[in-house]
């Protein structure tokens, strides 16, 4: 016991909470580990710091180039026009990070009279620090203060049947906690996180010796015969159900953009720190944890309550939305340095070996709505 207490003193707040939890209850699910490491109120990775950009741990498309937010903004304007130019257009962004994407959409909206007046923005953000950054990003727009609102969960978001409602979820689903399972000779078993030893000093993955309640999350799933490992993200299912609840009361759509695949796959959970891969189990709370999104899982939760279209690659989506034309227009008026930055941002967003192919775009639309461009299947 003395060595444990001495050991705990060396650990970060997240590690020592995890340690005590595991010693008291036994190994915990990967989802519980992720939740504690990322969004625990006092110590979670996202809760108290700005994690983006050159000085942070990773960079996202809206931070790379304004072109990204502008293309999503154009998509919103298109939806608004196609659906009779409603007088209230509610944009709900899930996990808005620094608020850059929302600001780019609001800035673009000013070029479309009618849309500008109709637009209001609801931000769903769990982290007080991120909320603070988002308020700063939006404070300079001279819009009515009631046009921007914040909620700390999608469950807290009121349904507004009189507003045309569009959800944007960019790199949101990949941050939600996943359970992991592997196929053993005795059937599927959950992967758990255990301590390396009773004396503080690290965590390790173990296979549960017998069935655990989380195996219930795999029930009714149709899995490829050769699949030997699987991640399941029940939180993604719950968020999807909430989105569909809104889209069945209010006309609208959701745009989900994330890396991932359209079917169940293997184990993808990974950590990022300072723009490099980092051991998932080392220094929890100071490392970004992320897992590929299974778009087919989201579709299962949509069922018949709304309609899913896609996913298509980010490259295809951005090109069809006119990113090349916009790049040329911006370059024409830019200094040489700015033009260079615009071009390298563009290449990162649409490059077929990078984000352009790894990231996928899927939409969920209210039943009965005209399929929005560029989802014409």
Pattern of binders to ligand SAH over 142-161, x per CB under 6 A?
-----------x--------
Q: Which of 33, 172, 217, 301 binds ligand SAH (CB under 6 A)?
A: 172
Give the residue from 71, 346, 294, 46 showing the smallest Cα distance to 178: 294
Instruction: Please tell me whether residue 125 binds ligand SAH under the rule CB under 6 A.
Output: yes
| Phi, psi of 262, deg, nearest 5 | -100, 60
Q: Which of 18, 67, 119, 170 binds ligand SAH (CB under 6 A)?
A: 170
Instruction: Please tell me whether residue 62 binds ligand SAH under the rule CB under 6 A.
Output: yes
Give the residue from 100, 41, 101, 75 showing the smallest Cα distance to 323: 75
Q: Which of 69, 86, 96, 284 binds ligand SAH (CB under 6 A)?
A: 96
Instruction: Please tell me whether residue 175 binds ligand SAH under the rule CB under 6 A.
Output: yes
Q: Which of 95, 252, 345, 374 binds ligand SAH (CB under 6 A)?
A: 95
Q: How far is the CB of 191 from ligand SAH (least distance, A)?
A: 21
Instruction: Please tell me whether residue 31 binds ligand SAH under the rule CB under 6 A.
Output: no
Instruction: Please tell me whether residue 124 binds ligand SAH under the rule CB under 6 A.
Output: yes
Give the residue from 45, 107, 123, 117 showing the smallest Cα distance to 80: 117
Instruction: Please tell me whether residue 297 binds ligand SAH under the rule CB under 6 A.
Output: no
# chain residues binding ligand SAH, by CB under 6 A: 18
Q: Are the C-beta atoms of 307 and 367 separated by less than 8 Å?
A: yes
Taking 3-state DSSP, the helix, strand and coil percentages for the chain, each rounded to the nearest 5, stand at 40, 25, 35
Give the residue from 138, 155, 154 showing the smallest Cα distance to 146: 138
Strands (E), 237-285: 252-261, 270-273, 276-278
Q: How far is the CB of 204 from ligand SAH (least distance, A)?
A: 25
Instruction: Please tell me whether residue 294 binds ligand SAH under the rule CB under 6 A.
Output: no
Strands 276-278 and 270-273: antiparallel
Q: Which is nearer to ligand SAH, 97 or 356 (CB)?
A: 97
Q: Which residues bind ligand SAH (CB under 6 A)?
A: 39, 46, 60, 62-63, 95-97, 124-127, 130, 153, 170-172, 175
């Amino acid at each position: 016991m003395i060595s444990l207490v001495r050991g705990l003193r060396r650990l970060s707040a997240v590690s020592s909470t995890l340690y005590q939890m595991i010693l008291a209850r036994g190994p915990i699910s990967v989802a519980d580990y992720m939740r504690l490491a990322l969004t625990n109120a006092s110590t979670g990775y996202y809760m108290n710091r700005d994690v983006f950009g050159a000085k942070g741990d990773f960079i996202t498309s809206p931070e790379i180039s304004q072109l990204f937010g502008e293309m999503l903004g154009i998509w919103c304007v298109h939806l608004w026009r196609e659906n009779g130019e409603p007088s209230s257009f509610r944009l709900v962004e899930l996990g808005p990070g620094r608020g850059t994407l929302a600001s780019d959409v609001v800035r673009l909206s000013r070029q479309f009279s009618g849309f500008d007046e109709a637009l209001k923005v609801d931000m769903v953000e769990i982290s007080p620090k991120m909320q603070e950054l988002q308020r700063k990003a939006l404070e300079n727009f001279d819009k009515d203060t009631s046009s921007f609102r914040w909620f700390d969960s999608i469950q807290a978001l009121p349904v507004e049947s009189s507003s045309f409602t569009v959800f944007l979820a960019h790199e949101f689903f990949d941050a939600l906690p996943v359970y992991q399972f592997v196929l053993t000779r005795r059937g599927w078993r959950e992967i758990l996180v255990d301590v390396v030893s009773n004396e503080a000093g690290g965590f390790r993955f173990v296979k549960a010796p017998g069935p655990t309640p989380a195996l219930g999350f795999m029930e009714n799933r149709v899995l490829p015969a050769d699949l030997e490992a699987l991640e399941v993200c029940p939180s993604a299912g719950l968020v999807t159900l909430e989105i569909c609840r809104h889209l069945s009361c209010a006309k609208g759509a959701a745009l989900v953009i994330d890396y991932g695949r359209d079917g169940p796959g293997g184990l993808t959970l990974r950590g990022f720190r300072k723009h490099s891969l980092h051991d998932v189990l080392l220094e929890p709370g100071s490392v970004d944890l992320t897992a590929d999104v299974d778009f087919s899982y989201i579709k299962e939760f949509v069922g018949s309550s709304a309609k899913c279209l896609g996913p298509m690659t980010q490259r295809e989506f951005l090109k069809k939305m006119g990113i090349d034309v916009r790049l040329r227009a911006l370059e024409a008026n830019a200094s040489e340095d700015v033009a260079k930055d615009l071009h390298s941002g563009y290449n990162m967003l649409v490059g077929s070996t990078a984000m352009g192919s790894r990231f996928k775009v899927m939409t969920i639309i209210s039943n009965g709505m005209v399929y929005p461009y560029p989802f014409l299947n």
